[in-house]
Amino acid sequence: MRKEPKVSVIINCFTQMECSNAKKFPYFAYCEPVGIESVKKQNYKNKEIILADKKSPFGAGVIRNDAIKISKGEIIFFLDGDLILADKNYISNIVKIFDERDVIVVVAGSV
């Protein structure tokens, strides 16, 4: 297996709670703490979390594109802020699919 690629987890946010230990960018300041904690607890360590605030007047697509521009990951993983990754291997399983199969997109409800 090759070196673990960096995964950028872009979380669409819904709440007014400010999070200080995630990247900040215009409109990237609020998050759902439970969803972020589930990403932090993932077994896969080579990751970054970017918060994208959907309350922006620009819309989710534009905000996600802005998040991609500042991301450093080889793999981009989108997560809605009100969702939890219950399986601690979820991101590892996504990376494994990229590694084992020559794919450029993975869409998953469960892996």
pLDDT digits (tens, 9 = 90+) for 36-76: 899 999 999 999 999 887 665 556 778 888 899 999 999 99
pLDDT at 81: 76
- Amino acid present at 84: I
**Alpha carbon 76 to chain centroid, angstroms:** 7
- pTM comes to 0.76
DSSP, collapsed to helix, strand or coil, labels residue 63 as: helix
Q: Which amino acid is at 47?
A: K
State the pLDDT at residue 26.
44
d(CA 78, CA 92): 15
